[in-house]
Structure 1
Amino acid sequence: MTLARTFLDRALVAAHTAADAAEVGIRAHYRARDFAVETKADATPVTEADREAEAAIKRVLRAAFPGHAYYGEEEGREGDSDFLWLIDPIDGTKSFVRGYPFFSTQIALMHEGELVLGVSAAGEYGERTWATRGGGAFLGTNGRDGRAIRVSGARELGPATAISTGNLKSLACDPRRWNALAGLVARSGRIRGYGDFLHYHLLARGAIDLVIESDLNILDVAPLVVVVREAGGVFTALDGGKVDLSLSSALAGPPGLHGLALEALAA
């Protein structure tokens, strides 16, 4: 089913408004350093700021779309609908806890299993990216002042190529893939580990050329998938698999470079 542009525009306004609402509480906690840190069952940290932000996001989205379903990092799945909002209120909680601004609020909309909208809001870092399917990708400081962005035109690895990696623990345990990654690094000009939201923002605006991560979940990157794709890039799992709720790895870049990396990593 093709979604009307008017619906996507309205959903995007709601997503920006939800990100704004979350940002108020996140900023207050971050700057005051007045939060307790708990450890979840998966050994990752959570704070009251995470929970409050998720609740704030849902209040806004539910007011706009009361019949939709929700999948949040802190509260899990709620509701049953062809429309599913994916929410990570603070992606990068470890950075938030340690006091450096590499964390973001991730909000995406999935319709019948396909991601159609994404907002990645990194308020303390000072930028936000967003996109809707067929509507292009944008970068700004909020949802009202964006400029259109595109991935780089890189087609092969070389002295000017920049690769960024995220969590690579499981890839490091696979000798074949680890050696394949080493081969890509040896052929590139720069290797960085920007991680979290940042390397996808950089990728979508053409500042770096390839992102490789072997350990993540869909809530970490759902809106960034839409942003990268609408900026002209390709976003898949490391083995070329489709992006769905079971996603656990990422390979993203311009079409030609993505294909080259995929051939090396998935062989």
Structure 2
Amino acid sequence: MNPTPEFLDRALDVARDAAGAATQVIRRYYRDGFDVEIKADETPVTIADREAEAAIKHVLRAAFPDHAFYGEEEGREGDSDWLWLIDPIDGTKSFVRRYPFFSTQIALMHRDELVLGVSSASEYGEIAWARRGGGAWLNGQRLQVSGASDFTAQTAISFGNVKTLSRDARWTALARMVQRCGRTRGYGDFLHYHLLARGCIDLVVESDVNILDIAPLVVILREAGAAFTDLDGNAPGLGTTSVLAGPPALHAKALAEFCAA
């Protein structure tokens, strides 16, 4: 089956339902408490992460039993042209410390191309979604990135997870951009992508991410008019570990500076 608009609309509806199922799990634990474990990579995980992923898969499998899955907690399952990418709680560190900068991320990939995404920040009160060719939406309102095309006193940049970037020559390139823009922020996680899609900020830079953190946001930002690549200008894929996203003209200028560093 090809990703027709009709199929993608149906899949997007199911993905939103799956995000809703995760929200029910997450809210229960967020309010009532939970134990925290530390994984081998020294990141936290909770029963809420595991149960939310199971709830998402239950909804998706009921609608698409032949699809494959790649979840944050349970890894890869199945073999199909269709692959669901799932991060039940992106921002578990925030969840554990009880502040609402975490989200559920659900995306669908068809033959290595991301075709739809849902970014649900239930405790923050936002849900964004998009499918290829259908525009991007947040809480029912159409999204559009800003028209920023250069680094000026009006330009706002947000950073998140830039530890690797700080260790190489691109850090100096970033500093030059910062010196020319009007505002810097570190919103991180889902939040700066939602703000970028709404035109509230102009550029997002990250150097230490996992594709499960950003897969839905790729579709949402592209449908909102953004260019979205890694810091080397490559299209996002399963191995992506960095992000450069913004209006096309500004993205191109930032990419040129990073590549010249």
TM-score using structure 2 length = 0.99
Aligned 1:1-267 pairs, distance under 5 A: 2-32=2-32, 34-140=33-139, 146-174=140-168, 176-267=169-260
User: What whole-Å deviation, never above 9, does each CA across 1:81-130 have from its counterpart, x for those lacking one?
Assistant: 00000000000000000010000000000000000000000010000110
Counterpart amino acid of residue 70 in structure 1: F
How far apart are 1:40 and its partner, in Å? 0.7
Distance 2:259 2:120 in 1: 32
Distance 2:7 2:203 in 1: 32
Counterpart amino acid of residue 212 in structure 1: V
Counterpart amino acid of residue 65 in structure 1: F
How far apart are 1:5 and its partner, in Å? 1.1
User: What whole-Å deviation, never above 9, does each CA across 1:202-221 have from its counterpart, x for those lacking one?
Assistant: 00010000000000010000
Distance 2:238 2:231 in 1: 15
Distance 2:122 2:259 in 1: 36
Aligned residue pairs, count:
260
Distance 1:8 1:246 in 2: 24
SS in 2 for 1:8: helix
Q: Which residue of 2 aligns with 1:143?
A: none
SS in 2 for 1:42: coil
RMSD value, Cα: 0.8
How far apart are 1:180 and its partner, in Å? 0.4
Is the deviation greater in 23-32 or in 71-80?
23-32
Counterpart amino acid of residue 20 in structure 2: D
How far apart are 1:241 and its partner, in Å? 1.1
SS in 1 for 2:164: helix
User: What whole-Å deviation, never above 9, does each CA across 1:174-225 have from its counterpart, x for those lacking one?
Assistant: 1x11100000000100000000000000000100000000000100000000
Counterpart amino acid of residue 164 in structure 1: S
Distance 1:26 1:135 in 2: 29
Distance 2:175 2:2 in 1: 42
SS in 2 for 1:211: strand
How far apart are 1:2 and its partner, in Å? 4.9
SS in 1 for 2:84: strand
Counterpart amino acid of residue 192 in structure 1: R
